[in-house]
Amino acid sequence: MVRLASADKPDILCLQEVPAWALDRLRRWSGMTAFGDVASRPRLGAWLGRAVTALDHSLFRSAFAGQGNAILLGRELRALERRRLVLNPRAFRRERARMLGLDGRTQLAWARERRICQALRVERAGASTLVVANLHATSHRDGRLPAAEVGRAAEFVAHFALVGEPRVLAGDFNVSIRSEALQELLGPAGGYGSAGPGIDHVLVAGLPASAADVWPLERRQAHGQLLSDHAPVEVRIR
C-alpha cells in the first residue's frame, strides 16, 4: 500500500493507522523521508500483535498491533521543526464530556484508543516554509467526539504556524463536510479551502490548491486485493 501511494513520487504523503511495527519501514518502502509517531501502542508487543492481526485485518485492525501516524517528505523538502499533540487526553475528554453531556459508555469508548496530530515545519527548495499536519480523529457514531478533536488539531496548528505561514491539515478526520467543526475551518475564521467528499481531507490555508482528487477503486487494488478501505485523497498545492 505504501509503495503504491508513493509510486508517483508525491512531495508529501500523510498516513494514518499505520501498524506500529511498520513505522520503521516506511522510508525503505517509499524512498521518502519518514516521520512516524505511535498513537496507540501494541497491546501484545509489535510482533505478536502483528501475527494476531494477520488472522483477520478487517476484524482486529489496530486492536493488537497498535497504530500511528506518519508524514513522508519527498527529496525536495526538508523538515525544520517537528511537534506532536495528543487529541484526546484525559483532561480534554473530561472537559468536553461535561460540556456535551456524554454518558459513561461514550466516555469509555473515547478513552479506548489514543489519537494524535503530528506537525512539521517544512522548507521548500527556493521558497518559504509551510506547516504540514497529519491527524487521525476518533471514530464514533457520536460525531461530536471527532469534531472536538478536529477543532483541537486546528488550534494546535494555528499556534504552531508563524504569522502568514501557509498550513496544510490532512488526515482521517472522521467527520464529513457537513460537520460544524469542518465548516468553521472552511469559513473566514479558519481560512482553509475546500474539503474532500468523505471523511478524509486535505485542507490548505495560505496557498492556492486544487480540489480533492479521490482515487477510484481500481487504482487502489493490487493482485486482485483492495489495499485500503480508505481511498487516498490528493490535492495539488501551487
Tell me the pairing of strands 12-18 and 33-40: unpaired
Give percent of the chain with pLDDT exceeding 90.
Answer: 83
For residue 125, give the 3-state DSSP assignment: coil
pTM of the complete model: 0.90
Cell numbers linked to 2: 505504501
Q: Give me the CATH code for the 2-234 domain, please.
A: 3.60.10.10
The answer for residues whose C-beta is within 8 angstroms of residue 86's C-beta and 6 or more apart is 114, 115, 116
Of the pLDDT bands very low, low, confident and very high (cuts 50, 70, 90), residue 116 is very high
Please, what's the b/e burial string for 47-82 (b: 16 or more CB within 10 A of its CB; e: otherwise)? eebbeebeeeeeeeebbbbbbbbbbbbeeebeeeee
The DSSP bridge partners found for residue 70 are 15, 36
Residue range 190-201, pLDDT digits in tens: 999 989 999 999
CA 90 from chain centre, in angstroms, equals: 20
Cα angle, residue 92 at apex, residues 91 and 93 outer, rounded to 5°: 90
- Tell me if residue 10 falls in helix, strand or coil: coil
Residue 176 — pLDDT band, cuts 50, 70, 90?
very high
Q: Report the alpha-carbon distance of residue 49 to residue 66 in Å, rounded.
A: 8
| H-helix or E-strand spanning residue 95 | helix 90-100
Distance between the two ends of the chain, CA-based, in angstroms?
A: 26
pLDDT of residue 80: 97
